Amino acid sequence: MVDWTVTFIVYILSMAPSTPERKKMLAKVVSGGVLATSEVVELLAAHDTLTKKLTCRYISHKCQAYTDLAYLASNLLLRDASDPNPAIRSVAVTTLATLPAVQEGAVRAVHAALADPAAKVRQAGALACVKLHNHAPDVVVENNLIDSLYEGIRDPNPAVITNCLLALDTILISEGGIVLNKNIAHYLYSRLPQFSECNIVFVLTLLLRYSPKNEEEVFTLLNTVDEMLQSTVPSVLVAVMKLFFHLTKDYPHLKKDMLETIQPGLCKILHKNIPEYTYFVLDYLKSLDSVICDVFAPHYKCFLVKTKDPSYLKIKKMEVLPLVSCEANAPSIIDELKLFCTDYQCYREAIGSLKEQAFASKEARTQCLSALVSLLAGPSERVQCAALECVLALDPQPPLSSGLQEAVAALVATPSFQQSNPALVLRTVGQLGVHLEVAPYCMEQLVHCMQQFDVPTQQLLITSTVRLFLGRPAECQMLLGHVLELGLKGDKREVAGRAAQVYAMLEEGPSCAKRLLSV
């Protein structure tokens, strides 16, 4: 195995133009070793930028434990804060802000950094405000650094704006973060095209905190973000969608128009099938629920599961597929889902998604039940259980297909399946027992084991027996009497209570007893 720490150290040292002695000191810096104060000062006095950056990082991590080091380094850092090289000024001001012993000098350096002609230094100044606030929040407030950060929002450089917004949002966290008024919000909307992909996501998310005051303002802001709906960058596209939904919360008719606009770009992302990107987009689409069906149903193939997909992506696709299902595409989706119903990584989700497809049409329901027949007869008990639960959820009405009837009957009559899944067998017999010839036999087998079941299963056994009796009274009269007797004489109070309730309702007549069908 490659030691990446050593590899990284060797690479860093190869980049730094230093003497052998200095390289040994730098090796300690990178690997987290301890240097003498004199060695730190020597490294900090070096002229190459990489050495200074590494040394400043070391000082930031060690200054809490070594206050003398902070005092000695501060003079050199204050000098570096005025260095002609913007990179050195940036690292110096950021490091000064972490030193608790030199707050006065750090404040001067931060103020100077926020007004520096180099955008990189202004970015560092905003970051330094956060670092200073971490150990001296009062100093930041008393020295008007918050006002300087607000002024930084008007900076010509978008990266500086982002850093100032991030700094303000962090510093004002106790007040709920930065509050956007109309002027700030409209200004940020006007600058959106200038932000990088990374920064624009943060700004778009921040703009969710501002709500327009009237319809005219809403449509003005919508026009600003309209072009971004064409983006094929997943994070940007999702952020714009969230902002669009926020702006149009009082205009639901516009949501379909927006989805139609983003559909081409979003389908391009899904066609690329980069797992992380696809998952991110699908996760957001899932939150939109059925609103996406009309627009994306014709493009359902973009959402289909692929064999090479990682398991987490397969599951997410299966969650979203029902949302783009309709009468026209459900049969095709069911055919695709059948391939994954025996995949141990996602069989439950595949069967669950299959169930949702069944509600698209009568044809889809028939196709789904047909697919479940082969799963009920399969070799895996886990898959059999999931398939049987799906059948119960679909609650097929008579006449049942001969294939489905035979598959369910064969499964619930299997002793090993009864033993490992008694509650599921009881639910099946109670719900579908009228259609299953073996139902009374299965119930007799389970009654013999009644005292071994937990309380909920014993209660279910009583209820399922009543349901079976109501459908097949002649065959199950003796069985019901036996079950009620066991329940009443048992030592479980809850079970006895259920048996007494059933007995009382039966005395009232069949119509009263049928209330148990909803229990």
Q: Kindly report which listed range (236-245, 256-265, 293-302, 391-400) carries the lowest average pLDDT score.
A: 391-400
Q: Report pLDDT for 3.
A: 46
Across 174-202, average pLDDT: 93
Contact between 330 and 355 (Cβ < 8 Å): no
Domain for residue 403, yes or no?
no
Q: Report pLDDT for 227.
A: 87
Domain for residue 53, yes or no?
no
Percent of the chain surpassing pLDDT 90: 58
Contact between 206 and 225 (Cβ < 8 Å): no
Neighbour count for residue 183 (Cβ, 10 Å): 9
Nearest to 26 by CA among 51, 1, 63: 51
Alpha-carbon gap, residue 167 to 402, rounded angstroms? 68
Domain for residue 196, yes or no?
yes
Contact between 358 and 369 (Cβ < 8 Å): yes
198-234: pLDDT as tens digits: 899 999 999 999 999 899 999 999 999 988 988 889 9
Cα 6 to Cα 14, 21, 230: the distances in Å are 12, 18, 45
Q: Kindly report which listed range (25-34, 152-161, 343-352) carries the lowest average pLDDT score.
A: 25-34
For residue 414, pLDDT over 90 is answered with yes
459-510: pLDDT as tens digits: 999 999 988 988 888 888 899 899 998 888 888 889 999 889 888 887 776 6
Domain for residue 31, yes or no?
no
**Token pair 């389970």 in the structure block, residue:** 446
Domain that holds residue 219: 180-272
Domain for residue 120, yes or no?
no
What's the number of domains the chain is made of?
1
Supply the DSSP string of 473-514, one letter for each residue. HHHHHHHHHHHHHHHHHSS-HHHHHHHHHHHHHHHH-HHHHG
Cα 465 to Cα 389, 427, 433, 476, 484: the distances in Å are 19, 10, 9, 8, 9
46-90: pLDDT as tens digits: 777 777 777 777 777 766 655 666 677 777 788 888 889 999 899
For residue 440, pLDDT over 50 is answered with yes
Residue bearing the bigger pLDDT, 36 or 158: 158
Domain for residue 218, yes or no?
yes
Residue bearing the bigger pLDDT, 78 or 511: 78
297-320: pLDDT as tens digits: 999 999 999 999 999 999 999 999
Angle formed by the axes of helices 86-96 and 49-62, to 10°?
A: 0
Domain for residue 194, yes or no?
yes
Domain for residue 232, yes or no?
yes
Instruction: Please give the structure tokens belonging to residue 274.
Output: 């980069």
**Token pair 């597929």 in the structure block, residue:** 321
Instruction: Please give the structure tokens belonging to residue 14.
Output: 């190869």
Long-range contacts of 245-253 (CB under 8 A, 24+ apart): 246/208, 246/211, 247/212, 247/218, 247/221, 247/222, 248/218, 248/222, 250/218, 251/218
For residue 354, pLDDT over 90 is answered with yes
Contact between 190 and 224 (Cβ < 8 Å): yes
Across 405-434, average pLDDT: 93
Tell me the whole-structure pTM to 2 decimals. 0.82
